[in-house]
């Protein structure tokens, strides 16, 4: 029987939805499921992971793992994978995952594929779907006879199973010796926003050049507050300095796949579409009926966003 290991990511003692997706698909495969959790909240994450069928969680709860540092994380995760005996490793295609796991794969000489939108586990065989050429097509990728197969999945792609709070798991504490650090994290400046990160958000309201100026993003923030959404933006807007680059959606920004994506004043350049075309429902608002965004949208509204967005906000207030 295969042994699937899930790398846990969370915040404020709660598992991220992307991690819940991975735990769910691992459990549904019928394999033995284990997990890795790092940082001061690792024990809390291990307890939550058990509710999704994890039988054993390997943790490093030392304070030094509170913030990501590849010099610390790479040897620790590599050793824990070896200790677990897993032959399949699932992790989120987050900024952390994309930086960490190529390094780990090199250490383990393992098979590795990133940014996947689907995964099928059948015994020791793993098949994944990976978008190519900015989402114009996708490839079904199979691993060779690699002893360990590492898969990074995009968020909001897989179904989350029902948690069973009666389940518990074994927790194995590890205290690896700190290596000689090439880099030292002196300070982490975290965003004060309470909104869900774009890659985890189920609803995104995004703005482009059609917003005309930075101050007009308040209209999108008001709509997002009503919907419980996160605000995103196109590259042009971020490059103009209207909003932080952390809000950028697109090929050179964040790849998102929410249930609902509302694009306001975004023309639909191919680089932007590459980052959000996997959204379940796309609503486009633009005063140009020939805007490329309408070719990808589920619903299109041709008109002035400064008239339409406030009306949408008021109507949603009535029903939500």
Full-model pTM: 0.88
1 by DSSP, 3-state: which? coil
Q: Which helix (H) or strand (E) covers residue 10, if one does?
A: strand 10-11
Segments making up each domain of the chain, as ranges: 3-173, 203-319
Q: Is the pLDDT of residue 175 over 90?
A: no
pLDDT for 134: 76
pLDDT of residue 207: 98
| pLDDT on residue 112 | 96
pLDDT > 70 fraction of the chain, expressed in percent and rounded: 98
Helix/strand/coil for 185: coil
Q: Are 88 and 126 in contact (CB under 8 A)?
A: yes
pLDDT at 191: 66
Averaged pLDDT score across all residues of the chain: 93
Question: Which comes out higher in pLDDT, residue 268 or 181?
Answer: 268
Return d(Cα 243, Cα 260) in angstroms, integer.
Answer: 21
Would 3-173 and 203-319 be classified into the same CATH topology? yes
* Mean pLDDT of all residues in 227-246: 96
Angle subtended at Cα 197 by Cα 61 and Cα 91, rounded to the nearest 5 degrees: 50
Q: Which comes out higher in pLDDT, residue 220 or 183?
A: 220
> Is the confidence at residue 320, as pLDDT, over 90?
no
Question: Confidence band (pLDDT; 50, 70, 90) for 181?
Answer: confident
pLDDT tens string 249-286: 998 899 999 999 999 999 999 999 999 998 999 999 99
Tell the residue number behind the tokens 């943790």, with chain if given. Answer: 59
- pLDDT greater than 80 at residue 187: no
Average pLDDT over residues 182-196: 73
- pLDDT reported for residue 192: 59
188: pLDDT strictly greater than 90:
no
Per-residue pLDDT tens for 62-100?
A: 988 988 999 999 999 999 999 999 999 999 999 999 999
**Interacting residues of 117 by C-beta distance below 8 A, sequence separation 6+:** 129, 130, 131, 138, 153, 154, 157, 257, 278
DSSP H helices in the chain: 17-28, 42-50, 70-84, 95-108, 217-227, 235-239, 270-276, 293-296, 305-319
* Residue 195 pLDDT greater than 80, yes or no: no
**For domain 3-173, which architecture applies?**
3-Layer(aba) Sandwich (3.40)
CATH number of 203-319: 3.40.50.1220
Residue 214 backbone phi and psi in degrees, to 5: -60, -40
Least confident of 14-23, 134-143, 171-180: 171-180
At 54 the pLDDT is 96
pLDDT in tens, 109-145: 999 999 999 999 999 999 999 998 877 889 999 998 8
Give residue 245's pLDDT band: very low, low, confident or very high (50, 70, 90). Answer: very high
State the average pLDDT over residues 29-38.
Answer: 95
Whether pLDDT at 184 is above 90: no
Average pLDDT over residues 25-33: 94
Token readout for 194 is 């309470």
CA distances from 253 to 168, 236, 273, 295 (A): 38, 11, 11, 21
Give 168 or 180, the one with higher predicted confidence: 168
Alpha-carbon span 149 to 176, nearest angstrom = 24
Confidence of residue 185 (pLDDT cuts 50, 70, 90): confident
What is the average pLDDT across 164-177? Answer: 89
Going by C-alpha positions, the residue among 115, 172, 121 that lies closest to residue 149 is 121
């Amino acid at each position: 029987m295969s042994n699937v290991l899930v790398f846990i990511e969370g915040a404020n003692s709660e598992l991220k939805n992307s991690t819940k997706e991975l735990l769910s698909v691992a459990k549904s495969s019928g394999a033995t499921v284990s997990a890795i959790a790092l940082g001061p909240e690792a024990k809390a994450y291990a307890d939550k992971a058990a509710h999704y069928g994890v039988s054993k969680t390997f943790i490093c709860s030392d304070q030094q793992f509170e913030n990501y540092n590849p010099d610390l994380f790479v040897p620790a995760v590599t050793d824990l994978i070896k200790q677990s005996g897993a032959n399949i490793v699932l992790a989120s295609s987050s900024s952390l995952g994309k930086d960490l796991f190529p390094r780990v794969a090199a250490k383990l000489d393992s098979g590795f594929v990133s940014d996947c939108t689907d995964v099928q586990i059948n015994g020791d065989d793993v098949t994944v779907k990976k978008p190519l050429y900015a989402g114009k097509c996708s490839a079904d990728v199979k691993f060779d006879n690699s002893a360990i197969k590492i898969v990074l999945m995009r968020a909001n792609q897989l179904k989350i199973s029902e948690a069973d709070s009666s389940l518990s798991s074994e927790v194995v504490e590890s205290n690896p010796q700190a290596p000689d650090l090439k880099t030292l994290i002196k300070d982490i400046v975290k965003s004060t926003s309470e909104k869900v990160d774009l890659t985890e958000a189920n609803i995104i309201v995004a703005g482009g050049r059609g917003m005309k100026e930075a101050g007009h993003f308040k209209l999108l923030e008001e709509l997002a507050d009503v919907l419980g959404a996160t605000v995103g933006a196109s590259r042009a807007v971020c490059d103009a300095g209207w909003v932080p680059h952390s809000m950028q959606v697109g090929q050179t920004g964040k790849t998102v796949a929410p249930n609902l994506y509302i694009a306001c004043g975004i023309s639909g350049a191919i680089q932007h579409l590459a980052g959000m075309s996997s959204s379940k429902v796309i609503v486009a608002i633009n005063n140009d009926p020939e805007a490329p965004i309408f070719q990808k949208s589920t619903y299109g509204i041709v008109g002035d966003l400064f008239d339409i967005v406030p009306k949408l906000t008021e109507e949603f207030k009535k029903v939500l």
